[in-house]
Amino acid sequence: MQIKDLSQLTGASPRMLRHYENAGVLTPRRDPNGYRHYGDEDIKTVRDIRCLLASGLSLTEAAALIHIACTAPQSATDQDRDEVLAQLDERTRQLDAGIERLLVEKANLRKLRQDIKAGR
């Protein structure tokens, strides 16, 4: 399939698919004229990438994770897995810290609202 077909099937724009290719996450076949051709496995890869990105990971983090967790888990070494697990743990800590910060900000806004409503 061509890039427009993969775009329609996955919801990722052709521009985003090219970005994934430049990042080394997608590797389409190329015709002599330069046209990209994608296979059925690329549909799953793009969907996995989009899922990981929606989880708050960067494309670099997603690229490392996708090969170990989705594309070729049997080829991952224990060290590869440990490195990815450490990245996921760190990202989870960052998200937890961000959630805590947002909860404090939310509480501050509610308090400010109550004070304004009470005329203080």
Domain at 6, CATH number: 1.10.1660.10
pLDDT band, very low/low/confident/very high, at 15 (cuts 50, 70, 90): very high
Q: What pLDDT does residue 71 have? A: 65
Q: What pLDDT does residue 110 have? A: 97
Regarding whether 56 and 12 lie in a shared domain, the answer is yes
Q: How far is CA 30 from CA 1, 36, 69, 94, 99, in A?
A: 11, 5, 26, 39, 44
Segment 53-63 shows an average pLDDT of 86
Task: Give me the domain span that covers residue 105.
Answer: 77-120
What is the β-pairing status of strands 36-37 and 29-30? antiparallel
Residue 96 has pLDDT above 70, yes or no: yes
Regarding whether 58 and 2 lie in a shared domain, the answer is yes
Least confident residue range of 28-32, 50-54, 66-70, 77-81: 66-70
Regarding whether 106 and 51 lie in a shared domain, the answer is no
Regarding whether 25 and 55 lie in a shared domain, the answer is yes
Regarding whether 32 and 3 lie in a shared domain, the answer is yes
Regarding whether 14 and 46 lie in a shared domain, the answer is yes
Residue 88 has pLDDT above 80, yes or no: yes
Regarding whether 47 and 18 lie in a shared domain, the answer is yes
Q: Name the domain count of the chain.
A: 2
